[in-house]
């Protein structure tokens, strides 16, 4: 019985244990099967779209939307902020912004993409306070921008560029030094004639900076003819954009997008996002009633013409508690004051402040606005610090030390300025040796390049050393030594012996005499050269006049003979003269005259020629007409012929004839005039014999010279 009772208890205990363990086993089996659900693959599209119902109907794999961040997981190395913001934005919002941007009627960039949408979200959702601060200043500056943009025929939507640059803060300054509403760098501001000094920086003047920006944008558009590239060049520089265009061969901003720095890549999308956000600020709830909107107010001006001026005193005179209140109307002032003698400037202040000024005239107001304290002066020049050399702070400190001093003998000039004209054959070394100076000194005094020879005729300036001043004798030094030791306890300078001083003085005097002699020689050479030029000119004029007279006389004689022959009734025989010559090809009067020992004027007169030109086949005679051909010729005709022949040969003496020509080789320095004087012939004869068109001859040229 006890055994039966124990068996029943054992069975009951086993059943209780089984009831407790069985649910736990079933739950464990279900979890294991749920974890072994196969992953969807690209090869089984049906499986990838069906819910997993393997063993557990509660765990169902749902289809995710394509714009969800979970649908396309990305590693940390592949995350793009613009793409991430694009994926976070609802599709309806993206479509709405895309439609609005595409409806802009403007020439400025307004392409919509991921980058633009990221910045739109930044300005309208994540950083709304930034754009609201810009909206507060919008009515203050946009009318000014639109005025100048319309004046320069630029798109009015370029006014949003100032928002990208400075957020409409006229005194904004970037870490690299760009300043003002339009963020001009120093060199660009200088090119656009914006003045900058320690008192005024016109990059912060709204009107002047806006006009300069319009000029710069117009220039950039003339270079690129594309507003997206214009904005990129405004940020990066025109030269940088042109270089990357040449390197890549691409012509549009979005083609050049990967080759630009990050700041320039984001510049155009930021501009488009700013333009959209400000145009649709009300739709995004950015314009609220609690914003402190600023608007332009009427201003009055006060002209300054070199008077010292303190802007803080004018602020107090206008009734403002803040002494720097007027700085917002004059943002280009780097300090709240201007010194006396500064260039003309116009101070602006609200016209409503006139009631506080009352009837005060301009002179009284300017006297009141004088600075109460002296304005800061520029720092004094600091001498350069050299290694091992300490600069002296003042002259009294220098005098109290044993350092170098400037005495009366040092203050006196130690050199004499001597001009010198370089002659042929002189070199830098010879001049340095003659005047007892170094070649480096000559080059430094006359700015001569090293390694180039001196050109004859160049004017040089030479500083000739003067003799040293007279120094005390050894006896005088010995007598004054005790007193010097008692008064001054500093070492004396080394003295120069009297013999050396005398030698230096003699050398200086010799140098002075040599310089004077050289100057006299140069003056004589100039005078002689001028006389020779005058003589040559007179001889040339006389010779030209004689030649003209000879030709005129020969022409008159020929005309007279032709007229008499026409009036004469003596019949002309059909036979040709016995001494007639037929002109052949290549003949000329000069050549024929020399061959027959006659002059050109005689040939012209005997043959009745109008000029010295002859043609092939023409008949010429080389002797005077016979006496029977003109028996009634008067005695005057013979005299006129003799005068013409004499005038045609002014340089030939009576009874002198030209001999056979000889060949002369032109030597260095020869001229046609010198050669004619040497051989006793005229320049005209040499020109005609050698067929020269001018008086120029070349070295080595062969000339035919008749023996006079």
Q: 187: pLDDT confidence band, cut at 50, 70 and 90?
A: very high
Range name among 205-209, 373-377, 603-607 with the lowest pLDDT average: 373-377
Which CATH architecture best describes the domain 415-465?
Roll (3.10)
How far is the C-alpha of 117 from the C-alpha of 145, rounded, in Å? 26
555: exposed, middle or buried (Cβ count in 10 Å: 0-12, 13-18, 19+): middle
Share of the chain above pLDDT 70, in %: 70
**Two domains, one topology: 76-284 and 660-707:** no
| Orientation of helix 683-690 relative to helix 672-679, angle to 10° | 110
* pLDDT score, position 17: 65
**Residue of 463 and 46 predicted with greater confidence:** 463
Residue 602 in contact with residue 553, Cβ under 8 Å?
A: no
Residue 511 scores a pLDDT above 70: yes
As a whole number, mean pLDDT of residues 119-137 equals 93
Rounded-to-integer distance, Cα 489 and Cα 67, Å: 96
- Three-state SS for 154-199 is CCHHHHHHHHHHHCCCCCCECCCCCECCCCECHHHHHHCCCCECCC
Taking the C-alpha atoms of residue 119 and residue 271, their distance in angstroms, rounded to an integer, is 9
Question: What DSSP assignment string belongs to 1-30?
Answer: -HHHHHHHHHHHHHHHHHHHHHHHHHHHHH
Q: Per mean pLDDT, which range of 77-91, 337-351, 590-604 is the poorest? A: 77-91
Flag whether pLDDT at 255 surpasses 90.
Answer: yes
Closest CA to 235 of 277, 194, 176: 176
Residue 81 confidence (pLDDT): 67
Query: Poorest-confidence range of 145-159, 229-243, 559-573?
Result: 559-573
CB 181 within 8 A of CB 166: yes
Which residues neighbour 287 within 8 Å (Cβ) at sequence distance 6 or greater? 135, 281
Average pLDDT over residues 37-66: 40
Q: Tens digits of per-residue pLDDT, 382-400? A: 666 666 666 655 666 556 5
* Average pLDDT over every residue of 121-150: 94
Average predicted confidence (pLDDT) for the chain: 77
pTM: 0.46
CA of residue 183 relative to chain centroid, distance: 24
Average pLDDT over residues 406-427: 73
201-210, 513-522, 600-609, 657-666: the lowest-pLDDT one: 657-666
How many whole angstroms separate alpha carbon 331 and alpha carbon 579? Answer: 108
Does the pLDDT at position 492 exceed 50?
A: no
Contacts of 25 (CB under 8 A, 6+ apart): none
Where in the chain are the domains?
76-284, 299-369, 415-465, 660-707
Looking at per-residue confidence, does 565 or 212 come out higher?
Answer: 212
Indicate the range of 21-25, 86-90, 109-113, 287-291 predicted with least confidence: 21-25
DSSP 158: G
**pLDDT for 702:** 84
Out of 71-80, 120-129, 272-281, 552-561, least confident range:
71-80
Whether 704 and 689 have beta carbons less than 8 Å apart is answered as yes
- Residues β-bridged to residue 310: 337
Taking residue 327's Cβ as centre, other Cβ atoms within 10 Å add up to 17
Residue 193 has pLDDT above 90, yes or no: yes
Task: Give the helix/strand (H/E) hosting 416.
Answer: strand 415-421
Asked if 34 and 54 touch (Cβ cutoff 8 Å), the reply is yes
Q: At what angle do helices 267-279 and 128-151 cross, to 10 degrees?
A: 100
Topology of 660-707 in CATH? Membrane-bound Lytic Murein Transglycosylase D; Chain A (3.10.350)
As a whole number of angstroms, the distance between CA 140 and CA 306 comes to 31
Q: What residues pair up with 702 in beta bridges, in sequence order?
A: 665
| pLDDT on residue 616 | 80
Which of 367-371, 540-544, 559-563 has the weakest average pLDDT?
559-563
Write the pLDDT tens digit of every residue in 642-660.
Answer: 454 444 444 444 434 455 6
Using an 8 Å Cβ cutoff, are 231 and 267 in contact? yes
- CATH topology for 76-284 is Lysozyme (1.10.530)
Could you give the dihedral angle defined by the CA atoms of residues 357, 358, 364 and 366, in that order, rounded to the nearest 10 degrees?
30
Average pLDDT over residues 466-486: 51
């Amino acid at each position: 019985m006890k055994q039966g009772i124990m068996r029943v208890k054992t069975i009951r205990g086993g059943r209780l244990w089984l009831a407790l363990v069985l649910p736990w086993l079933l739950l464990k089996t279900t979890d294991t099967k749920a974890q072994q659900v196969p992953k969807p693959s690209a090869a089984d599209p049906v499986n990838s779209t069906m819910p997993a119902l393997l063993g557990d109907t509660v765990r169902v794999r749902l289809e995710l939307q394509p714009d969800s961040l979970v649908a396309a997981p990305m590693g940390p190395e592949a995350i793009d902020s613009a793409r991430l913001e694009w994926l976070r934005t609802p599709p309806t919002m993206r479509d709405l912004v895309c439609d609005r941007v595409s409806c802009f009627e403007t020439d400025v960039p307004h392409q919509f993409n991921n980058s633009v949408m990221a910045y739109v979200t930044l300005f309208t959702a994540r950083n709304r306070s930034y754009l609201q601060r810009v909206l507060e200043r919008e009515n203050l500056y946009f009318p000014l921008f639109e005025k100048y943009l319309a004046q320069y025929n630029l798109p009015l939507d370029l006014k949003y560029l100032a928002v990208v640059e400075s957020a409409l803060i006229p005194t904004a300054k970037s870490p690299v030094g760009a300043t003002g509403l339009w963020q001009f760098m120093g060199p660009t501001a200088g090119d656009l004639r914006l003045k900058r000094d320690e008192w005024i920086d016109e990059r912060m003047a709204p009107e002047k900076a806006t006009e300069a920006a319009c000029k710069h944008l117009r220039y950039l558009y003339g270079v690129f003819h594309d507003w997206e590239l214009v904005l990129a060049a405004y940020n990066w520089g025109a030269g940088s954009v042109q270089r990357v265009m040449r390197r890549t061969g691409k012509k549009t901003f979005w083609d050049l997008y990967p080759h630009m720095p990050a700041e320039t890549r984001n510049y155009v999308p930021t501009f488009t996002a700013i333009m959209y956000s400000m145009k649709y600020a009300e739709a995004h709830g950015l314009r609220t009633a609690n914003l402190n909107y600023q608007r332009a107010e009427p201003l009055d001006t006060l002209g300054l013409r070199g008077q010292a001026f303190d802007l803080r005193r004018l602020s107090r005179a206008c009734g403002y508690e803040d002494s720097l209140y007027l700085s917002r109307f004059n943002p280009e002032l780097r300090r709240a004051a201007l010194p006396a003698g500064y260039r003309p400037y116009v101070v602006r202040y609200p016209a409503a402040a006139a009631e506080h000024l009352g009837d005060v005239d301009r002179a009284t107001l300017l006297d009141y606005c004088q600075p109460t304290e002296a304005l800061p002066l520029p720092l004094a020049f600091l001498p350069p610090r050299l290694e091992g050399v300490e600069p002296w702070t003042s002259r009294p400190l220098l005098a109290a030390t044993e350092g170098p001093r400037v005495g009366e003998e040092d203050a006196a000039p130690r050199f004499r300025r001597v001009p010198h004209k370089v002659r042929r054959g002189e070199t830098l070394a010879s001049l340095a040796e003659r005047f007892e100076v170094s070649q480096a000194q000559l080059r430094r005094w006359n700015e001569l390049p090293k390694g180039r020879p001196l050109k004859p005729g160049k004017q040089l300036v030479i500083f000739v050393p003067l003799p040293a001043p007279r120094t005390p004798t050894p006896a005088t030094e010995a007598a004054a030594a005790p007193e010097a030791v008692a008064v001054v306890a500093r070492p004396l300078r080394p003295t120069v012996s009297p013999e050396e001083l005398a030698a230096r003085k003699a050398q200086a005097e010799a140098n002075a005499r040599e310089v004077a002699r050289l100057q006299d020689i140069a003056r004589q050479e100039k005078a002689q050269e001028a006389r020779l030029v005058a003589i040559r000119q007179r001889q040339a004029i006389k010779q030209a006049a004689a030649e003209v007279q000879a030709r005129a006389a020969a022409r008159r004689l020929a005309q007279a003979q032709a007229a008499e022959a026409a009036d004469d009734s003596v019949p002309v025989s059909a036979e040709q003269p016995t001494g007639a010559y037929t002109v052949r090809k290549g003949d000329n009067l000069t050549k024929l005259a020399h061959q027959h020992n006659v002059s050109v004027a005689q040939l012209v007169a005997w043959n009745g020629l109008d000029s010295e030109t002859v043609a092939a086949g023409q008949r010429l005679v080389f002797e005077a007409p016979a006496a029977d051909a003109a028996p009634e010729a008067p005695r005057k005709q013979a005299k006129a012929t003799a005068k013409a022949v004499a005038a045609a040969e002014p340089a030939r003496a009576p009874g002198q004839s030209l001999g056979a020509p000889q060949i002369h080789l032109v030597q260095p320095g020869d001229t046609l005039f010198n050669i004619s004087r040497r051989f006793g012939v005229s320049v005209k004869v040499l020109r005609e014999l050698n067929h020269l068109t001018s008086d120029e001859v070349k070295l080595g040229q062969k000339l035919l010279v008749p023996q006079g």
